[in-house]
Each structure stands twice: as C-alpha cells, then as structure tokens.
Amino acid sequence: MKTKKNIMEILKHVYLLIITFIVLTPIYYLLVTTFKSGTEAAAKPMALPSFWDITPYINAFEKMQYPRAFGNTLFITICAVFGIVMCSTMCGYVLNRKEKSKITKIIFLVILSGMMFPYQMAVLGLYKLVRSLDLMNTLTAVIFIDIAINIPFATFLMKNSISSVPIELEEAARIDGAGVFRIFGTIVLPLLKPMIATIVILNTLNVWNDFMGPLYFIQKREKDVILQEVYRNIGQFSTDWTSLFPMMVLGILPLLVFYIFMQKYIISGVMAGSVKG
C-alpha cells in the first residue's frame, strides 16, 4: 500500500509538471519574442534572445499612444466595475430578502436569462439604441453596456452570498430606528467584502479584456482602448509579431499586477461561498 501511494504521488507530480510546462510555454514564447528582431524570432522562436533590447517596448509604448489608451481603459474599467458592484449588491439584497415572493422569483429568472445568451446576438439593437441616444464614440456607451452584460452573473453570486448575513442584525437595526439604506450601507455591505472583492476581480478581468464593445461603438482613435491599439498591428495580409507582442505585454501588465495584489480576496470569497454551500 505504501509503495502504491508513493507511485501515485510521483504520477501526480509528473502530471502537474506537464500541465505547468504546457501553460508556461506560450508565456515564455511571448516574453522572449518581445526582445528579438523579426529575423531572430523567425529563425530561433524558442531560444533566448542574443541581445536583450528594450527598444521594442519603447516603440510599442509610443506607437500605441499608451498613456491615452491606458487612461481610457482604466476609466471604463473603474466606472463599469463600480456600477456592476452597486447594482448587483442592491439587486441581490432585495432578491434574497424577498425570495419567497413570486414576483421576485420571476425577476430573478429574467435576470439569470441574461447569462444564457451572449450580448453579441443583440449587437444590432444595441447599435441602434446607442445611436438614438447620441452615445456613439463615447466611453459612456461602453461603460453602460459592460455594466448591463455583467450584472446577471454578479447578481447571482451576490444573492447567494447575502444569505450569510444574519437577518437578526437587520432586525436589531430597525428597532433602533435605522432605515433600509442605512442598514444596507452600514451592516450588509461591510459583511460582504469577500464577495464584493471577488466580483470586482472577475469583472475587472472581463471589462479590461472586452474588445467587441469598444470595436463596435468607438471609431475615434482618441477614445481607443488598449486592445484596439493592439489590433491596429494586425494587418489584412501580414502581422508584425515583434511589434505586436510588446504591446500585448504592456496591455496585460496592469491586469497582472492588479490580480497579484487582489488574489487573496478572491480566495477568501470562494472559501466563504464553499462554507455557505
């Protein structure tokens, strides 16, 4: 039995090493290519660069007008995530506390139906709506759309998480004269920090990596986001990979830093949900 257990442990570690190698190989290729010339990248794609040159990053920074694109992307992400968190927490709170009502159940099913269909199916209607509201080529249009398409899943998570908040605390606050908004802001929200952090992280990834929304509703370069600037290097007949890869690294670097600092919160949110389940 002991020998069998040792063999299983060895096989498990070998399997994990293979998975790790498969995951890290594209990342390694992306990083080393950013320091190579086009000729060297084609001749020795997996080899280390003969000379570590940061010129491609400088050129990419200037070519994609990085400060402007980063500012637009950051503004959209902050506003959209804030809207998603506020809407989903308030909606989830009402749906949880009034879950015995038939109307509430119907509303919850309608909200969940938004998770079944990709919003690209309604892009024509969205385009007409955005034009009728005179929001074309504005960051506001992208923010509203990002909020709308991410609310269903965030509401689903929040509705289940609010069950962990003891209703006795709310009843005690009502006896002391607190209103609904004060109870929600001073009692419910502080106890939902792990789940709020989880929603912030997940939706930050979604909004930051959203390409279709800005592509459909933003045609002015001064309003472009990072992914649109990266897309400009993909030609109809050829792609400048040595210029594209540094831009991709510059695009994902802020997101990587954000995730590294926030990953402990998503773990605590998942653990809180598993204990509740």
Inform me whether the pLDDT recorded for 7 exceeds 70. yes
- pLDDT, mean of residues 113-125: 81
Phi-psi region of 238 (alpha: psi -120 to 50; beta: other; left: phi over 0): beta
| Integer-rounded Cα radius of gyration of the chain | 24
Query: What does the mean pLDDT of the chain come to?
Result: 84
Tell me the range of 100-104, 137-141, 251-255 where mean pLDDT is highest: 137-141
- Reported pTM: 0.82
Show the CA angle centred on residue 265, arms to residues 264 and 269, nearest 5°: 120
- pLDDT per residue over 155-193, tens digit each? 988 888 888 888 888 888 888 888 888 888 888 888 888
Q: Which residues pair with 234 in a beta bridge?
A: 239
Tell whether domain 65-276 is in CATH 3.40.50.300.
Answer: no
CA dist., res. 130 & res. 123, Å (int): 10
Taking only the tens place, the pLDDT of each residue in 241-263 is: 777 888 888 888 888 888 788 77
57: pLDDT strictly greater than 90: no
Tally of CB atoms within 10 A around 117: 9
- Judged against a pLDDT cut of 60, whether residue 48 lies above it is answered with yes
Domain boundaries, the chain: 65-276
How far is residue 257 CA from its own chain's centroid?
Answer: 13
**How confident is the model at residue 146, as a pLDDT?**
92
Cα torsion 74, 157, 99, 169: sign: negative
